[in-house]
Amino acid sequence: MKNILVTGGAGYIGSHTLIELVKAGFNPVVYDNLSNSSVIAIDRVENIVNQKIDFIKGDVLDKDLLKQTFKTHNFFAVIHFAGLKAVGESVKEPLKYYQNNVAGTLNLLEVMSEFGVQNLVFSSSATVYGSPKSLPIFEHFPRSCTNPYGQSKLMVEYILEDLCKSKAFNAISLRYFNPIGAYQTGTIGEDPKDIPNNLMPYISQVAVGKLQKLSVFGDDYDTIDGTGVRDYIHIIDLAKGHLKALEYLVKGDKDNHIIGFEPINLGTGSGTSVLQLVNAFEKATGQNVPYVIVSRRAGDIASCYASCDKAKSLLNWQAQFDITRACLDTWRWQKNNPMGYQS
Ligand code: NAD
Ligand code: WQD
């Protein structure tokens, strides 16, 4: 059984990925400082998979603990979710983001090097494409970012590219589009600490009565109904994408093939507007989601959706779940856990 270090494994995407890893016979070891998550998520994953999950409370900035962790486990690969992700906060506190996301990754890469671990799956983001020149977005499109969060992801991609040029190293950079939804048990899901920045958790918190109404950021974009269009991908599909990436690394290892730096989009390939998502949520759940149109949010683009051709051809992966299913799963999680993991 292959040991996989999962940094940030207690978080939203990490916790769902743990389930797929265990189901496929990998042994995930979670390393998380719980700065944006709860250990309850790990307990709930243990209940779902009916198995204990190795958990180390640690920071990727703590190189000694990282070394200790590598010394006591023989890792085949690392899935590196650990990072801060709030765009607005990153504008106010850029150093915190560069320190955590860039310096943290450098630490990890140095320790991986020291222990001869050469397989990485990195959590990148569609944000690295900035304002795309056309749609859908392909992996070869130019990259640019306008905020420190996005820059931190882009910087790590540059570091990984250089590293892969310098020696035998495999880095699959998964560029996520907009993850939504929750596991079907309704026991794990997205649990923002403050008022949500992202659309889906905002919608579900309005539906559960925690927030009064949704502010729709602009209805004058050049889109189907004037509101922003995004590529919403179910979290279980996203989690399965990580498994496929790992399997690709395992195959590369068997064939003695160096993969190098490989950026891959994980999305559905189609776009949904803000109002379409609100309507889909209301229809799927029977809940009312009051909203008001307000001005555009600074830094937002009109539309963004992925080409998923590369994920299909290289990883044999494509999204299975639709928006209705994602709305139902989000709602099950939200209504069962109105205060998130503290409920
Ligand atoms: P999350 O905040 O739920 O999970 C991140 C986890 O990393 C948390 O459990 C947090 O406690 C942990 N963490 C943060 N800094 C750490 C550190 N220094 N050391 C150890 N652990 C640390 O976020 P998520 O939505 O699960 O995102 C996971 C990754 O995917 C992040 O890198 C994020 O930037 C990236 N990403 C997320 C989205 C999205 O919309 N959710 C989209 C694109 C990319
Ligand atoms: C989606 C749409 C908003 C909230 C962000 C990050 C990106 C990535 C995913 C990590 C847009 C509109 C939103 C609200 C609204 N994260 N909206 N009212 O902006 O595509 O991407 O999360 O990598 O880096 O920038 O996602 O969910 O914030 O917004 O009208 O209260 O919903 O304007 O059109 P976004 P989002």
**Residue 81 beta carbon below 6 angstroms from any ligand 1 atom:** yes
> Which of 95, 123, 160, 172 best tests ligand 1's pocket when mutated (most atoms within 8 Å of CB)?
123
pLDDT band at 146 (very low <50, low <70, confident <90, very high): confident
Fold classification of 3-180+231-266 is Rossmann fold (3.40.50)
Tens-place pLDDT, residues 85-107: 999 999 999 999 999 999 999 99
Ligand (nearest to CA of 152): 1
User: What pLDDT sits at residue 343?
Assistant: 77
Q: What percent of the chain has pLDDT over 70?
A: 100
Q: Which of 270, 264, 248 is nearest to 321 (CA)?
A: 270
> Which of 56, 62, 85 best tests ligand 1's pocket when mutated (most atoms within 8 Å of CB)?
85
pLDDT surpasses 80 at 111: yes
pLDDT surpasses 80 at 145: yes
pLDDT surpasses 90 at 264: yes
User: What pLDDT sits at residue 91?
Assistant: 97
Q: Within the chain, which residue ranges are assigned CATH 3.90.25.10?
A: 199-229+269-342
Tokens of 260: 């190098």
173 by DSSP, 3-state: which? Answer: strand
**Residue 8 beta carbon below 6 angstroms from any ligand 1 atom:** yes
Active-site entry in 12, 31, 129, 149: 149
189 by DSSP, 3-state: which? Answer: coil
pLDDT surpasses 90 at 3: yes
Relative to the CA of 14, which ligand 1 atom is closest? Answer: 26
Q: Residue 14 phi/psi, 5° resolution?
A: -60, -45
User: What pLDDT sits at residue 102?
Assistant: 99
Compute, in angstroms, the gap from residue 156 CA to the centroid of ligand 1.
14
Q: Within the chain, which residue ranges are assigned CATH 3.40.50.720?
A: 3-180+231-266
Question: What is the CATH architecture of 199-229+269-342?
Answer: Alpha-Beta Complex (3.90)
pLDDT band at 256 (very low <50, low <70, confident <90, very high): very high
Distance CA 276, CA 294 (A): 17
Q: What is the mean pLDDT of the chain?
A: 98
Tens-place pLDDT, residues 180-236: 999 999 999 999 999 999 999 999 999 999 999 999 999 999 999 999 999 999 999
Tens-place pLDDT, residues 29-38: 999 999 999 9
Average pLDDT over residues 316-334: 98
User: What pLDDT sits at residue 93?
Assistant: 98
Tens-place pLDDT, residues 152-184: 999 999 999 999 999 999 999 999 999 999 999
Tens-place pLDDT, residues 37-59: 999 999 999 999 999 999 999 99
Average pLDDT over residues 111-140: 98
146 by DSSP, 3-state: which? Answer: coil
Strands (E), the chain: 3-7, 27-32, 54-57, 75-80, 119-125, 170-176, 178-180, 214-217, 229-230, 232-234, 261-266, 272-273, 291-294
Average pLDDT over residues 310-337: 98
